[in-house]
Every structure is written in structure tokens, then in C-alpha cells.
Amino acid sequence: MLHLTDREWGAFPLTEIFPIIQRGKRLKTADHSIGRVPYVSSSAINNGVANFVANKKGVRKFDKCLTIANIGSIGKTF
């Protein structure tokens, strides 16, 4: 059986695993157009999905990524 103490641990830059780190763009709730695209926010519930939107302008779309909340539920990752 493997144990955590069986390994050598050390610090490393996140860019070793994630070569591209980008920040999303805030879309105020009042500006949401209801649609089918998940809008990930800094919520700790529903894997961060706060709504489903149809907005095309003023948004950034990502796929195959991790999200990290930097406000609200700070540090929550999905």
C-alpha cells in the first residue's frame, strides 16, 4: 500500500502543471441573459455554477480547466 510518507514532497510553480493561467471576467447578475452555458462564479455550491447564460459579449469562455474562487468562497476549486 502507498503512503504519503513514501514520497518526497516539495514546492513547485503551478505553471509546471498548468502552463496557461487566466482570469475570467465578471458578469453582473443583472446582465445575465438566460441560456445554456454554465456561468461559474465564486460560489461554494453547485461546483461554482451560479447560473446558465447566453451572453456572448463581455464574457470569457473556458473549457477543460479548473476554477479557483478569489473572492466570495476564497480558495474553492472545481
pLDDT tens string 31-68:
999 999 999 888 888 888 989 999 998 888 888 888 88
pLDDT band, residue 12 (cuts 50/70/90): very high
| DSSP structure class, residue 43 | -
More confident residue, 71 or 36: 36
Cell 461554482 -> residue = 48
End-to-end CA distance of the chain: 28
Handedness of CA 49, 61, 34, 57 (dihedral sign): positive
- Look up residue 24 and give its three cell numbers: 475570467
With 80 as the cut, is the pLDDT of residue 1 above it?
Answer: yes
pLDDT, the chain, mean: 88
Specify the number of domains making up the chain: 1
Any domain includes 61: yes
Any domain includes 70: yes
List the domain range (segments joined by +) for residue 73. 29-78
Any domain includes 50: yes
Any domain includes 41: yes
Any domain includes 72: yes
Any domain includes 6: no
Quote the CA–CA distance of 3 and 27 in Å, as a whole number: 44
Bridge partner residues of 22 (DSSP): none
More confident residue, 35 or 2: 35
